[in-house]
Amino acid sequence: MKTPSWTQWILKNPWIAELFIILTLIVLLNFVLKRVLIRSKKRAHIVENDWRVHLDYIMVRPLQLLLWIFLIAFSVDIIIREFEFEGVFLFFPALRDSGIVVCLAWLILRWKKVFHDSIVARRIKGKSSFDLITLELINKLFTIAVLFIVLMLILQILGLNIVPLLTFGGIGAATLAFASRDVFANFFGGLMLNLTRPFTVNDQIEMPHRKVTGYVEEIGWYLTVIRDLQKRPIYMPNSIFSSEILINLSRITHRRIEEMIGLRYVDIGRAEKIVDEIRQLLTSHTNIDQTLPLYVYLYTLAPSSVDIEVKAYSLSTRYEDFMEIKQKVLLEIYQIISRHNADLAFPTITIDMPAKY
């Protein structure tokens, strides 16, 4: 029986059969990969916000590209072997290895994105105590580290000695850092803000030396945006926060009532009872913290008044609530003064005019 001509042609060119087999295996692997990932995704749906739900997003594209790189590499090897094209494809091994590195980095970055989104979703729902600012910092640093390692590996694969490059890069970085010290100072200032977290977004802060009070809208790598009480945006370079005194008004535990109340000198005989009733008022007040010092004393005999010092700590930290408590306390103090037939003093001057003889 005579062998068909196409069979004879394949027998004379076995590399075609090899190429066909490899192509079939890659297509089969691609199919199996999708099926396995789909099953894993269905199983992962049982757990809420499980990052394995996104395995298809993480792995399919990078692994498909990796399989095609292997197919092209095998095809090129066959062409070099059968047609003796060694000189034409001298650069190909470096490109192949660089492509493999890029695929692996792409897969890692996709996994990082899914993992980051999963933690954020759990944090928003209150099911994770992980701080979002720290998470963003780790996310950015991880991306930078992966890209830097990939760049170094590709340069090494391409035959470049990275040791002199790193040495030269260090000298260049030092020169650049000196020339752009303000930029780097702000960058590291932003890094320290993210690490130490003296304030977060939506916190109300005050910088007394710069007379700035407002709410933090954004903490960037170079500058921080503060919206002041007049609703003006203030852009503060991050390096300022390392040398300036800063008060975080959103983290206070109490607000203090601190008043000086002046009585008339004609009411000095009633001052002791008035002081005792004011102290009793504050001691029994539900919105005053009784565990902290409370001061109600006759403070001084001023030129035109008998001054009573009143100091107490309110349990409410919200400004509107504090002002409402303070208002009620002051009105009740005035009622106490009125019940004793006393009154508040106002500035007076006594002129002594001696009789003429």
Strand segments (E) across the chain: 204-207, 212-219, 223-228, 233-237, 247-248, 255-263, 295-301, 306-314
Distance CA 254, CA 37 (A): 55
Q: What is the pLDDT of residue 354?
A: 74
Contact (Cβ atoms closer than 8 angstroms) between residue 261 and residue 310:
yes
Question: In the numeric block, which tokens belong to residue 331?
Answer: 């009105």
Q: What is the pLDDT of residue 263?
A: 94
| Half-sphere exposure for 283 (CA within 13 Å, toward CB) | 8
Distance of CA 223 to the CA centre of its chain: 13
Q: What is the pLDDT of residue 195?
A: 77
Question: In the numeric block, which tokens belong to residue 53?
Answer: 């739900």
Question: In the numeric block, which tokens belong to residue 324?
Answer: 């409402």
Q: What is the pLDDT of residue 46?
A: 44
Q: What is the pLDDT of residue 4?
A: 54
Q: What is the pLDDT of residue 269?
A: 92
pLDDT tens per residue across all 357 residues of the chain: 444 555 555 555 565 666 666 777 777 777 776 666 666 555 555 454 555 566 667 777 787 788 777 777 777 776 666 666 555 556 677 777 888 888 888 888 888 888 877 777 776 666 555 566 667 777 777 888 888 888 888 887 777 776 666 665 555 555 555 545 666 677 778 778 877 888 888 899 999 988 999 999 988 777 889 999 899 999 998 888 888 899 999 899 999 999 999 999 999 999 999 999 999 999 999 999 999 999 999 999 998 899 999 999 999 988 899 999 999 999 999 999 999 999 999 887 777 777 665
Amino acid, res. 62: P
Closest CA to 20 of 66, 78, 60, 64: 78
Contact (Cβ atoms closer than 8 angstroms) between residue 288 and residue 282:
yes
Sequence-distant (≥ 6) Cβ neighbours of residue 232 within 8 angstroms: none
Q: Measured at the alpha carbon of residue 260, what is the angle toward residues 334 and 308, in degrees to the nearest 5?
A: 75
Q: What is the pLDDT of residue 296?
A: 95
Q: What is the pTM of this model?
A: 0.53
Task: Give me the torsion for CA of 168, 170, 176, 182, rounded to 10°.
Answer: 180
Sheet holding 306-314, edge to edge: 255-263, 306-314, 295-301
Phi, psi of 223, deg, nearest 5: -145, 165
Phi-psi map region of 271: left, alpha, beta (phi>0 left; psi -120 to 50 alpha): alpha
